[in-house]
A and B are shown apart, each in its own frame.
Chain A
Amino acid sequence: MDLFKAVNIDKLSYALDVTSYKNKVISENIANVDTPFYKAKKLDFKDAMQDVMGTGKKLPLKVTNKYHISGSSENFSVSNYVKYQNNMSVRNDGNDVNLDYEMSELAANGILFNMLSQITGYEFTRLKTSIQGR
């Protein structure tokens, strides 16, 4: 859809996807703050965005039916970027969740989501302006 290419809405919606998924990862870490042997996960926003920004790689399309055309050749999903944090555990139960870090990441991620959703709104406003011509 070339109309939306001009205003980056596809990239923004993917960025919003990444941010929501990151929220899920952080929530999981916080929920498991007392689970023995739980290892903290992370999702680096930059990592997940780098593959689609400027590389010309197609953004993922969700395929609901195997006869549909898939958007990209490889199996592409935000969850591929989830990694382990590999923190030094300072506890006896093998859990390496750092609660303070997770809480600050949660705050930062919320702000980022707000920012992205605002920018998406502006992009739609631009689009509307150019369609209406006033």
Chain B
Amino acid sequence: MSYFDILKIASTGLSAQRIRINVISSNLANANTTRTEDGTPYQKREVIFRTILDGELRGGVRVEKVVRDEKPPILKYEPGHPDANEEGYVAYPNINPIEEMVNMLEASRSYEANVTVLNTAKQLALKALEIGRA
């Protein structure tokens, strides 16, 4: 396990959390989107993380897939809405903004933690280079 492996592993963590924040911002932006391309309301998306088990990034993390949350949409009675059904109900995405904000805070803290790991590994490597200096 060299310093360079530590840097690579920390960078996989950074990428994973960055993708997670991307997905969360998508969820928040589309919290009230009642119609997507296939005509259904937007569904909350979540990222699935997996440990990398082989190769040079062993021990790092990768985003395996982005899954849609299959929770049923919330129905609101708005007969004037263009996306309302025959009974006058509009299907809104089942997204809880508070939950999303908490996840975003968590993701950004994880990102910061990975940056700290990266900087520590860098400092260690540079300190090791000073061994034997007069």
Contacts and interface: CB of A to CB of B under 8 A. Distances in A.
Q: How large is the interface on A (under 10, 10 to 19, 20 to 34, 35 or more residues)?
A: 10 to 19
A100 B14 CA distance: 6
A58 to B, nearest CB: 28
A106 to B, nearest CB: 10
Contact of B118 (A90, A104, A112, A115): A104
A117 B121 CA distance: 20
Dominant secondary structure of chain B at its interface with chain A = helix
Interface residues of B, number: 18
B34 to A, nearest CB: 22
A26 B39 CA distance: 42
A103 interface: yes
Given A99-B18, A104-B10, 11 more contacts: A90-B22, A100-B18, A101-B11, A103-B11, A104-B8, A104-B14, A107-B7, A111-B122, A111-B126, A112-B4, A118-B129
Interface of A: 90, 98-101, 103-105, 107-108, 111-112, 114-115, 118
